[in-house]
Amino acid sequence: MLNNIAITQDEKDIIIRLQALLASNTLKPSEVWTCFSLPKREQYFFSGRQKNKVQKREIFTTQEINCLKELKKRLVADLLKHSNKRCCYCKRSVGRYGRSLQIEHIRGKTLNPSQMFVLDNMTMACVDCNQTKSHAIDKNNISHTIIDPKSANFVYTNHLNYIQISSADFHYLKYKWVANSLGKNTYEKLDFPFLENMEVLANISPRTGELIDRLDQSIAEFIGRPEAEDVAEFMMVLKRRIIRQP
């Protein structure tokens, strides 16, 4: 449980309580993660599977909220250091066009709830890779078909290479996978061609770049909140329609 991260007994007790709520099916995996990632005194949860029925529950005390916020800061700092402040999948750096990095579960938390708080199952991903993987990989439980950045002796260039060319007015990004590796599946399943197109278009069209920036900020805000999943998905669809027609 978050091995290698300094964790107090109070913080450990909170995580154990969240795991118990998960094990008892009191809360769904996405709801447990929301409690950890965005702790509030009162949380809103769906009643069963019906999104039109919402329950309000008091989960944490103010002290527990502060504990979780501090724990998350240390967790994010550790993951950013490991990822060198880049997305673990596409290797784009944080900050370009408002892109932010999200905590990413390599093996999706919904179908692998026991690994939700396992550090070796966590890394950082951009909103594009995070959302695409959520639909194309995690829902099908096929994380083994793409790269695992936290696997033993993992070397990114054994699977994928990329080139970036930048000038004052132009930015070019292109990926190439390594034969007989997980690079091709990663390139295709995480839709790297979309990223290549977006990087170029956002540079040659400042207005498009600004719009992508605003969408990324909104998507980053809604990711991980069960009540806002549909909004985040809609914004990703809108972003893709701006870059290219499906």
Q: What is the pLDDT of residues 66-75, one digit of tens each?
A: 999 999 999 9
Which single residue is written with the structure tokens 């007989």? 180
What is the reported pLDDT for 38? 85
Predicted local distance difference test score (pLDDT) of residue 94: 65
Q: Three-state SS string across 128-178, please?
A: HHHHHHHHHCHHHCCHHHCCCCCCCCCCHHHCEEEEEEECCCCEEEEEEEC
**Residue-level pLDDT at 97:** 46
Q: Where are the domains of the chain?
A: 9-243
**CA dist., res. 174 & res. 73, Å (int):** 33
CA dihedral 185, 190, 196, 201 (to 10 degrees): 160
* First and final C-alpha spacing in the chain: 41
Task: Dump the DSSP string for 180-229.
Answer: TSSHHHHHHHTTHHHHHHHHHHHHH-HHHHHHHHHHHHHHHHHTT-GGGH
The stretches in the chain having pLDDT less than 50 are 97-98, 245-246
Nearest residue to 90 (alpha-carbon basis) of 232, 193, 215? 193
Q: What percent of the chain has pLDDT over 70?
A: 87
Amino acid at 241: R
pLDDT at 1: 62
Cβ-count burial 132-160 (b if 16+ within 10 Å, e if not): bbbebbbeeeebeebbbbbeeeeebeebb
E strand map for 9-48: 42-47
3-state helix, strand, coil in the chain (%, to 5): 50, 15, 30
